[in-house]
Structure 1
């Protein structure tokens, strides 16, 4: 996961790393927003990771 500073400490964008393409992809929060607090972005990233099937 990578956080992107948006100009204020309250809102951050974030991207998830894709090993298949060796790049980061901007990610939308469950609220539909592209930005959120650091806690919201971490919660989202953890939820996505924990929901992924083991391969």
Structure 2
């Protein structure tokens, strides 16, 4: 699997932070960490709680990523199909999926 270049990592952070600012007021900030082809995204909530959300899998495109959802019941990330029905999609779509699950909308 390909590792995302630094420019893609920067773009991912910018796009998801802008999306959170426009859509998810419960989130005060996002934290990113990377391991190989994966980008892990956690939310820092307004009440100070840290919430793991998603694992994105880079496949060579900055706009289409595989998606793993953090499952609190197991403490693990599991691959998912996005609401669109596709196994890959935009990082914003993956983030929204997790936020609908874990945050009051």
Normalised TM-score (structure 2) = 0.43
Paired residue total: 51
Q: How does 1:11-22 map to 2 (within 5 A)?
A: 11-22=64-75
Q: Distance in 1 between matches of 2:96 and 2:75?
A: 23
RMSD: 1.6
Could you tell me which runs of 5 or more consecutive residues in structure 1 were left unpaired when the two chains were aligned: none
Could you tell me which runs of 5 or more consecutive residues in structure 2 were left unpaired when the two chains were aligned: 1-53
Q: Whose Rg is larger?
A: 2
Q: Which has the higher strand share?
A: 2
